[in-house]
Chain A
Amino acid sequence: MPESSSDRPRKGGSDKSAGKAVAVRKAALAKTVTATPVPAAAVATRATSGRLTVRKTYKLYIGGAFPRSESGRTYLVDGDNVALASRKDARDAVIAARKAQPKWAGATAYNRGQVLYRVAEMLEARRAEFVALGVPAAEVDAAVDRWVWYAGWSDKIAQVHGGANPVAGPFFNISAPEPTGVVGVVAPASFLGLVSVIAPAIVTGNTVVVLTATPQAAVTLAEVLATSDVPGGVVNILTGNAAETAPWLASHDDVNALDLTGVTDPALAADLERSAAGSLKRVVRPPADGTDFTADPGLGPMTALLEIKTVWHPKGF
């Protein structure tokens, strides 16, 4: 079982609800909005409204749908029964990601930019919900801004990272970046980290299977994505234990790249990288000394998951 279930005591339902309510109220104050409740207000407690709250079931996000784990397993995180993804879920997610990839990559860069900007809009609208889940408000804001930043890259990266090559002969010669394909991602624990690994992968036309250890925020992000015109299968999110599921992605022959940014155990990272060598996946290693996700990410997170295609054609009459 993952750490989070063993080293965190299970909270009582009312305690949890009260905690969330406090957070929601703080958020509401900060925005001086009280009349229009954000969706997170659904967690309002028995104490304030006199009615029983409707809790959310945290499930996986595969192919645009929210299935339970096919294994039927759940684990407990902060009082929620969260789906514990299995090998089969990982493989289903790869199938969904592969199926979605050509069409997503084939969409115009302008269109992908619009979709990512729509993600920013939806995230902004659900800001309080993330704050209620314990994500610091500043981090949610930074995550919204990161979606906007990457949205703008969709139709610029090819110009910055490709171009005409002045070959010594009568040839037209041009290099352009293309998505590498399906990317397996072990996401970092922070919400901004999660957004900072998904956005650069998908903006260029990759599709992703994301393993996350912060399930509530990740599944809530999935709800944002599901309402943002992101085609089903472009982002697939598996909650659970990365040490259990990541090896299946690392050895999966239909995965083109592996982003290990969120792996904190060096031995696991080395094992996954070794396993990824079987089909020569591109591997993004965990940063040597952590990543400051608030800093300018630069081009690296995008270019690490891009191929360069160079096309030649003769010139002549």
Chain B
Amino acid sequence: MFEYAPAPESRSVVDIAPSYGLFIDGEFVPPASSGGAFKTVNPATEEVLAEVSTAGPEDIDRAVAAARRASGPWSALPGAERAKYLFRIARIIQERSRELAVLESLDNGKPIRESRDVDLPLVAAHFFYYAGWADKLRYAGFGDNPRPLGVAAQVIPWNFPLLMLAWKIAPALATGNTVVLKPAETTPLSALFFADVCRQADLPPGVVNIVTGAGDAGRTLVEHPGVDKVAFTGSTEVGRQIARSVAGTRKRLTLELGGKAANIVFDDAPIDQAVEGIVNGIFFNQGHVCCAGSRLLVQESIAEELLESLKRRMATLRVGDPLDKNTDVGAINSAEQLERIRTLSDIGAEEGAERWSPPCTLPSQGFWFAPTIFTGVTQAHRIAREEIFGPVLSVLTFRTPDEAIEKANNTPYGLSAGIWSDKGSQILAVADKLRAGVVWANTFNKFDPTSPFGGYKESGYGREGGRHGLEAYLA
């Protein structure tokens, strides 16, 4: 085994202000009297990074009003002009991607290798992709004269803060909508940085408004009578509440919710590639991924060999400082999430599954959880049914393709799935039968702005990305 010297990225490349206001109508403003403030911390060290404003109802009112005022002129701009603003934003993100990558890793805890090589390139690509749609909407297949909906209320999670912002804002703006976006409570900084990107791009005031806060602020925003469209990415439970809250209104809704993806490995799969795919499927981004391959379904005849190989590979994962360029697994995003992962893992052990983690030393400060697998898991176990949203893999076995399909679909979720096999016809037949919005065959956790993403069943509805992603923002 190689020893690695520390290879830290410099945190001084990005400036973090001691405190942030709300970004409304093109300006950072302090919250009104109904608002307040909270602190955002670096989950790897528990160090406070900045104080951030809590938007109260008056602030949400102001933000929605600003978006409404901006809506008319923005939607009236020729698509080619809207496109150029989005191209500008894409370019500024590319130019400032080092700052943003460091900021994202500081606030979220994800390894710099991932924020630098995955999140930021995808963010820029997403704006670039939708920029090009802005003046081509009548070719998108949604009628001759597709119209924007108006003001979009967008609430995003903490696992890919800036990427989720891009997934929400890029298609909304390209189609002529204006937005009020609320980033997650624990990861507001990259969205506030993005506000500055908008100013640098001379985006007209009010087209993008960023309000920070916790669940209350999000609820106030999505329930605001002045919004025409709600887009939410987050937990299935909150998604249900939102779906109830928009009932009886004319608000359009798209939801990207939880998952419990099956990653199915057939006996003819190349084992080493499959092991890499399993590791990427569940340990990428600390398993804080709604489409994570959190249920490994392995064909019984190769289970022993595969698990041995998987454990050997897991022992080489480097858990630690997110800013170290050699780090594979960073910090758990919050104390609250760590508690949830611990609780469900303990339940897994109590229910009789066998728990294993490689030997690894975790930092004494911050929120950490070692990569973990459970073997001997049955479909009745809670760790096979509930989304853990952490680096915890449940391993089940199967004998026949039909059994694999049945087990894979035996979940209320339907966001993603994986198939590992060398037999093309088997891959296509299984892919047909999986009730999931994204199926990765002999790969996993791949994303692209041109590729629609979204779930079946209780993983939500609507698609983000690609031509399909425009539909959610067009009348």
Q: Point out the residue from A175, A280, A309 that lies within 8 Å of B460, measured CB to CB.
A: A280
The 5 closest A-B pairs by CB, nearest first: A270-B248, A277-B243, A273-B247, A167-B448, A274-B247
Shortest distance in angstroms between B219's beta carbon and chain A's nearest beta carbon? 15
A169 located at the interface, meaning its Cβ lies under 8 Å from any Cβ of chain B in the complex = yes
B188 located at the interface, meaning its Cβ lies under 8 Å from any Cβ of chain A in the complex = no
- The answer to whether A309 touches B466 (Cβ under 8 A) is no
B197 located at the interface, meaning its Cβ lies under 8 Å from any Cβ of chain A in the complex = no
A165 in contact with B452 given A256-B457, A279-B458, A282-B461 (CB within 8 Å) = yes
How many angstroms between the C-alpha atoms of A171 and B451 in the bound complex?
11
Contact with A along B433-475 (1 / 0, CB 8 A): 0101111111100101011111011101101001010010000
Residue ranges of A at the interface with B (Cβ–Cβ < 8 Å): 160-161, 165-169, 171, 173, 175, 180, 256, 266-267, 269-271, 273-274, 276-280, 282, 285, 288, 298-299, 303, 307-314
Contacts of B303 in A (CB 8 A): none
Can you show 16 pairs from A to B with CB atoms below 8 A apart?
A165-B448, A165-B450, A266-B248, A277-B241, A277-B244, A278-B240, A279-B412, A280-B239, A280-B257, A280-B457, A280-B461, A299-B141, A307-B456, A309-B456, A310-B437, A312-B438
How many angstroms between the C-alpha atoms of A299 and B144 in the bound complex?
13
How many angstroms between the C-alpha atoms of A298 and B474 in the bound complex?
15
From residue 220 to 255 of chain B, which have CB atoms closer than 8 A to chain A? Answer: 236, 239-241, 243-244, 246-248, 250, 255
From residue 344 to 382 of chain B, which have CB atoms closer than 8 A to chain A? Answer: none
B307 located at the interface, meaning its Cβ lies under 8 Å from any Cβ of chain A in the complex = no
Given A173-B448, A309-B437, A309-B439, 9 other A-B contacts at CB below 8 A? A168-B125, A169-B448, A273-B247, A274-B244, A279-B457, A280-B243, A282-B461, A310-B438, A312-B441
- The answer to whether B448 touches A277 (Cβ under 8 A) is no
- The answer to whether A273 touches B248 (Cβ under 8 A) is yes
- The answer to whether B143 touches A298 (Cβ under 8 A) is yes
B427 located at the interface, meaning its Cβ lies under 8 Å from any Cβ of chain A in the complex = yes
Shortest distance in angstroms between A189's beta carbon and chain B's nearest beta carbon? 21
- The answer to whether A169 touches B431 (Cβ under 8 A) is no
- The answer to whether B240 touches A161 (Cβ under 8 A) is no
- The answer to whether B442 touches A314 (Cβ under 8 A) is yes
Q: Point out the residue from A160, A166, A310 that lies within 8 Å of B452, measured CB to CB.
A: A310
How many angstroms between the C-alpha atoms of A271 and B439 in the bound complex?
35
- The answer to whether A175 touches B452 (Cβ under 8 A) is yes
Contacts of B248 in A (CB 8 A): 266-267, 269-270, 273-274
From residue 400 to 431 of chain B, which have CB atoms closer than 8 A to chain A? Answer: 412, 427, 431
- The answer to whether B450 touches A308 (Cβ under 8 A) is no
- The answer to whether A312 touches B439 (Cβ under 8 A) is yes
Contacts of B468 in A (CB 8 A): 175, 308
- The answer to whether B450 touches A166 (Cβ under 8 A) is yes
Contacts of A307 in B (CB 8 A): 437, 456
A310 in contact with B457 given A160-B141, A269-B248, A274-B244 (CB within 8 Å) = no
Shortest distance in angstroms between B432's beta carbon and chain A's nearest beta carbon? 8
- The answer to whether A167 touches B240 (Cβ under 8 A) is no
Contacts of B448 in A (CB 8 A): 165, 167-169, 173
Shortest distance in angstroms between B115's beta carbon and chain A's nearest beta carbon? 18
Shortest distance in angstroms between B220's beta carbon and chain A's nearest beta carbon? 19
Contacts of A277 in B (CB 8 A): 240-241, 243-244, 247
Question: Which residue of A has the minimal Cβ distance to B450?
Answer: A165
- The answer to whether B466 touches A175 (Cβ under 8 A) is yes
Contacts of A312 in B (CB 8 A): 438-441, 443, 446, 451
Contacts of A274 in B (CB 8 A): 244, 247-248
Question: Which residue of A has the minimal Cβ distance to B466?
Answer: A165
Question: Which residue of A has the minimal Cβ distance to B453?
Answer: A310
Q: Point out the residue from A169, A280, A311, A314 that lies within 8 Å of B236, measured CB to CB.
A: A280
Shortest distance in angstroms between A261's beta carbon and chain B's nearest beta carbon? 15
How many angstroms between the C-alpha atoms of A279 and B241 in the bound complex?
11
- The answer to whether B458 touches A175 (Cβ under 8 A) is no
Question: Which residue of B has the minimal Cβ distance to A272?
Answer: B247
Q: Point out the residue from A171, A308, A311 that lies within 8 Å of B431, measured CB to CB.
A: A311
Contacts of A169 in B (CB 8 A): 446, 448
